Structure 1
Amino acid sequence: MFYGIIIRMFFKDIEKHKLPHIHAEYQGDVGVYSISDGILLAGHVPPKKQKLIVAWIEIHHDDLLADWELAVNGKTPFKIKGLDQ
C-alpha cells in the first residue's frame, strides 16, 4: 500500500487476463494493470493515482514478475515496498 493505493496479486489469477498483472485499488476504484508494461487492462483509477501505479510497476518490474511466478504456483509472494517508503 502507498499513497492510499492498495496493490494486490491473487493466487493462481490467470483465468481472465492470462498475463502477469496486479490489481490496484484506490477509494473503491479498481484497475488491473499489466506487469510487463503498466497498461490498464480493466477498470478505472483516477489519473493522478494511475501515474503513481505505473511508476511503481516500472520501478519494481523484476520483483513483480518474481512474485507473479510464486503466486500463480500457489506460493506466497514477497511484499514489495511502496513509493512512500
Structure 2
Amino acid sequence: MYVLDTEKHHHPHIHIRYNEFKAVLKIPDGEVLEGSLPQRQMKLVQAWVELHQDERMADWYLASTGQTPFKIDPLR
C-alpha cells in the first residue's frame, strides 16, 4: 500500500507482485488499475480484497494520516 502514490492512480490502491508479474488494484473494490497477474493468483487476490474491504480502507486512512496501519492477514 503506497498512500502517497496518488499522482499516478488517483485512488486508494494496493500494489501486488507475483514473480515477474505486477498489478495495481483499487481499494475497496479490487478493480485492476494497472498490470496483470496470472488468472489463479488474480482470483486469490480479489478474494482477499473482498474479505478485507473495511480493514484495507481503515489502513489506507491510517497510513494517509501518518499513522501506522494494522497488519491484515493473508489468504491461506
Length-normalised TM-score, structure 1: 0.81
How big is each residue's C-alpha offset from its partner over 1:40-79, in whole Å with a ceiling of 9 and x where there is no partner? 1001111110000011000000000000111222322111
Q: Quick check: which one's helix share is greater?
A: 2
User: Residue 78 of structure 1 aligns with which residue?
Assistant: 70
In 1, Cα distance between equivalents of 2:9 and 2:62:
17
The one-letter code of the counterpart of 2:48 is W
The one-letter code of the counterpart of 1:12 is L
User: Residue 38 of structure 2 aligns with which residue?
Assistant: 46
Larger displacement relative to structure 2 (51-60 or 31-40):
31-40
Task: Between the two structures, name the one with larger relative contact order (CA 8 Å, sep ≥ 6).
Answer: 1
> Could you list the runs of 5+ residues in structure 1 that have no partner in the other structure?
1-8
Aligned-residue identity in percent: 47
4+ long deviations beyond 4 Å: none
Length-normalised TM-score, structure 2: 0.90
Q: How many residues align?
A: 76
> Could you list the runs of 5+ residues in structure 2 that have no partner in the other structure?
none
RMSD: 1.2
